[in-house]
Amino acid sequence: MGIEKNNIRRFGTSPVFFTAIATILGAILFLRFGYATGTLGFWGVLLLIFVGHTVTIPTALALSEIATNQKVEGGGVYYVISRSFGLNIGATIGIALYLSQAISVAFYVIAFTEAFEPLFNFVHKNTGILLPRQVISLPAMAVLSIVILKRGTNLGIKALYAVAAILFISLFLFFAGEGQRPGEEEITNFAFRNSEDFFMVFAIVFPAFTGMAAGVGLSGDLKNPGRSIPLGTVSATLTGMVIYVFVAWKLASSAYADELVSDQLIMTRIALLGSPIILLGLAASTISSALGSVIVAPRTLQALAADRSFPSIRINFLLSKGKGNTNEPFNASLLTCIIAFIFVMLGSINAVAGIITMFFLLTYGSLCLISFLNHFGADPSYRPKFRSRWYISLTGFAMSIWLMFKINTGYALAAAIIMVALYLYISEKNKERKGLEVIFQGVIHQVARKIQIYLQKSKKISSTSWRPSVVCISKHSFEREKPFELIKWISHRYGFATYIHLIDGYFSRATCEESNRLLKELIERSNAEESNVYVDTLISPSYTSAIAQIIQLPSISGMENNMILFEFDKDETEELCRIIDNYSLVRAGNFDVCIFGSSRKPVNYRKGIHVWIKPIDTENSTLMILLSYVILGHPDWRKSHIKIFSICNENEKPEVRKQLLELIRKGQLPISPGNIEILSTGENMNSKHLINSKSADAALTLIGFRNEQVKHQQEKLFTGFENIGDIIFVNANKYKEIK
């Protein structure tokens, strides 16, 4: 990454720990935890802490795992997600994460003003003037901005140590205080009560647990991120959880329930030395949280810009540009402070805080999902020094999504919609960058492998429940496109298809290089046409040896290939002769055989698919009908139709029509009775003449043939259809029942 070029890494584990713990033990600890304890009781809050940490602990473990698998550069959580999920999804989550971090600065600064409540009360009591909170919050934001912009992260970290020390001293004196301990008969704070309000209280308190990833934002400034991130993050998460449990116990045992609910500064009445030390601790906790956020947010923004996540080249350049030897993100810090100032001036960001929580949950859920998918995908390159467990990561992901909707369904849907819209926009602007498929490749590989092995072992694919698994061989892939289109139609919805491009010659370095080049071109064409065809190349010195290899290939579907598709140009018979010479070889493998004769005529889909059934087509008839139905399922044929022509003796016409109508009714085939035509050949007209006459304008024609005809008529069997466009000659290995 560009931002790392001249970066001097200078921090160890301590800044990670203190940035995280200072954010965890923030404003909610001092202002809202008493309310939670008074409302739910000690055991209710204990459950609340447990539920909250079913997200934060798996996320801390997942983050530690991912951080020890790869070199973590600047950008913290954004870097981890973007290098795991791809730059497009990484940028999507990264932008949301940055905005959450930037607005959090304002949130903590506004909470900082609550430490001056005695001052506001004094002024109001003596002068009658109710001062706005901005009297304190705006100067505080200004001082914070000057500290970060003038002195950078070094001074921020030093200040972080100081305020963290004050925070822990205030907590120590809180635990040392006696408070107004109620009598034994009056203690009711330990019972779990008001369970119907659990998630309402959870929504208020949960942001207290979301600071554990704050220290990861320093990843670009750490000497050893692979060690400092796991150690600092996990220890801060566990330390915060233990402190919250003891704070809940202290509150429950030191004050009445109604006091806990009504007095947001109840801790001042419990702590040793009372109000001054708790207000100082509140100020320390909020300003330390604000410091942590204002240090981390610019680094996330700088990393986003370095990855060209924004549409303007100039914006990316300005925001990614660093200052000095340490590459301090001055421009990104300036923008972060401006955003924070805007929300501080608004004075209240309760509604925005709900959206922030949603984005944090999305971020944490994404980290757990990355860890789970890496476990499930079994990528050999995924070798972290620190390992979580797949079920822990899956639990963290599931809980993140569940809690989003439990906290606020509207905010959850809004966050999801914003994220999807943002991802679509970024993907459209950066089409060359990979997205979700980066992480899902390993998962898809594992799923496909297990399914194929299951299908092979179980052998539960019944021969009466037919679907095509076709393999096509051609050496004219780049001269004739229609054969590829045909198997694209077959494999779109109901079937499976493998397309093999044949390269004449012996295997050598030169032919191998040619094979790789042509395969890349075939894959690009397949992607461009959005086909479901599996493409490959085969080097062989002879057509016969190539066919012998291909008919032994396993299908990508997990079932055996059951159909071979040959192709030839109707204006050239040389290819047809080679097909006939190897026909018996293919039949030895018990395959259905289709021989596709392509014409130079364009395909007019509206003219429909014509299926010709002759008296000799006892086994071929149902295969041709099923195959035409499968082809009709492709969007190219959405305005087309199937028409059946049956040739029989004059006296058999009523019975043949009755049989075909019954077949269509039972099989629920989309064939109109009006598209069934029963014909008989006259004395002066054979079947070829009849087909040429009736199907001259058809988009595609299917004609059956038998083994004996190939033996006796050779290539003449497949010629003489000059008036018709594309033809598929069909020979079924056995009768296919239409259910």
Instruction: Tell me whether strands 469-474 and 563-569 are parallel, antiparallel or unpaired.
Output: parallel
pLDDT at 683 over 90: no
**pLDDT value at residue 319:** 87
Query: pTM of the entire structure?
Result: 0.63
pLDDT at site 219: 59
pLDDT at 153 over 60: no
Q: Which of 162-176, 409-423, 472-486 has the highest mean pLDDT?
A: 472-486
303 half-sphere exposure, CB direction, 13 A CA radius: 33
pLDDT greater than 50 at residue 6: no
Mean pLDDT of the chain: 82
Q: Residue 200 CB: number of other CB atoms within 10 A?
A: 11
One-letter identity of residue 352: V
CB 570 within 8 A of CB 533: no
User: 296: which 2 tokens?
Assistant: 């981390």
pLDDT confidence band for 123 (50 / 70 / 90): confident
């473990």: which residue's tokens? 61
Q: How far apart are the first and last CA of the chain?
A: 59
Beta carbons of 232 and 215 less than 8 angstroms apart: yes
Q: Please give the average per-residue pLDDT across 122-126, as a whole number.
A: 83
In this structure, which topology does domain 461-731 adopt according to CATH? Rossmann fold (3.40.50)
CA distance 485 to 635: 12
**Alpha-carbon distance 105 to 412, whole Å?**
22
Check residue 2 and give its pLDDT.
41
Two structure tokens written together for 46: 């204990």
Q: What is the pLDDT of residue 159?
A: 66
Distance from C-alpha of 111 to C-alpha of 117, rounded to nearest angstrom = 11
Q: Which of 169-178, 450-459, 669-678 shows the lowest mean pLDDT across its residues?
A: 450-459
pLDDT tens, residue by residue, 34-91: 888 888 989 999 999 999 899 989 988 888 887 777 666 656 678 777 877 778 888 8
Residue 433 near residue 85 (C-beta atoms within 8 A):
no
Q: Please determine, for residue 350, whether its predicted confidence score (pLDDT) is greater than 60.
A: no
More confident residue, 702 or 690: 702
**pLDDT (average), residues 464-489:** 87
- Stretch (H or E) spanning 567: strand 563-569
Q: What is the pLDDT of residue 329?
A: 84
Mean pLDDT of 544-568: 83
Phi-psi domain of 554 (left: phi exceeds 0; alpha: psi -120 through 50; beta: other): beta
User: In 180-329, which residue ranges form alpha helices assigned H by DSSP?
Assistant: 198-205, 225-252, 257-262, 275-306, 313-320
pLDDT at 435: 53
* 2-437 and 461-731 have identical folds: no
Domain ranges in the chain are 2-437, 461-731
What is the signed CA dihedral for 250, 254, 260, 266, rounded to 10 degrees? -90
* 217 compared with 724, residue with greater pLDDT: 724
Residue ranges in 529-619 assigned as alpha helix (H) = 543-550, 574-581, 583-587
The single-letter code of the amino acid at 240 is G
Residues found in the chain: 739
SS3 255: coil
Amino acid identity, residue 206?
A: F
- pLDDT on residue 378: 63
DSSP string, 442-497: HHHHHHHHHHHHHHHHH----TTS---EEEEEES-TTT--HHHHHHHHHHTTT-EE
- In the predicted structure, residue 486 carries a pLDDT above the cut 80: yes
Between the CA of residue 430 and those of 421, 596, 642, what are the distances in Å?
14, 40, 43
Please write the tens of the pLDDT for every residue from 571-612.
Answer: 887 788 889 988 988 888 889 999 999 998 889 999 999 999
Contacts of 572 (CB under 8 A, 6+ apart): none
Q: Which residue has the tokens 């220290």?
A: 215
pLDDT value at position 322? 77
Alpha carbons 261 and 37: distance in angstroms, whole number:
8
pLDDT value at position 663? 85
CA dist., res. 677 & res. 540, Å (int): 45
Q: What pLDDT does residue 455 have? A: 63
Is the pLDDT assigned to residue 4 strictly greater than 50? no
> How many other C-beta atoms can be found within 10 angstroms of the C-beta atom of residue 497?
28
- 124-138, 376-390, 407-421, 503-517: least confident range: 376-390
At residue 434, does pLDDT exceed 70? no
Rounded to 10 degrees, what is the CA torsion of 581, 584, 589, 592? 90
Q: Return the DSSP state at 603.
A: P
Say if residue 567's pLDDT is above 90. Answer: yes
Q: Is the pLDDT of residue 25 over 70?
A: yes
pLDDT computed for residue 440 by the predictor: 67
Q: What percent of the chain has pLDDT over 70?
A: 85
Q: What is the CATH number of domain 2-437?
A: 1.20.1740.10
Interacting residues of 124 by C-beta distance below 8 A, sequence separation 6+: 130, 131
Give residue 612's pLDDT.
94
Confidence of residue 641 (pLDDT cuts 50, 70, 90): very high
Q: Average pLDDT for residues 668-695, to the nearest whole number?
A: 83
For 265-295, how does the pLDDT look when each residue is reduced to its tens digit (9 = 90+)? 888 888 887 778 888 888 777 777 777 778 7
Name the band, by pLDDT with cuts 50, 70 and 90, for residue 564.
very high
The predicted-structure confidence for 727-737, as pLDDT tens digits, reads as follows 999 999 888 88
Tokens for 635, please give them.
Answer: 């969007």
Query: Quick check: 442 and 469 in contact, CB under 8 A?
Result: no
Q: How confident is the model at residue 529 (pLDDT cuts 50, 70, 90)?
A: confident
- Residue 121 CA, distance from chain mean position: 52
Worst-scoring range by mean pLDDT, 124-133, 427-436, 513-522, 535-544? 427-436
- 640's CB contacts (< 8 A; 6+ apart) are 605, 606, 607, 608, 609, 632, 699
pLDDT tens profile 293-338? 787 788 888 888 888 888 788 888 888 887 777 677 888 888 988 9
Q: Determine the 3-state secondary structure of 675 from DSSP.
A: helix
Helix axes 350-377, 33-67, angle to 10 degrees: 30
pLDDT at 703 (0 to 100)? 95
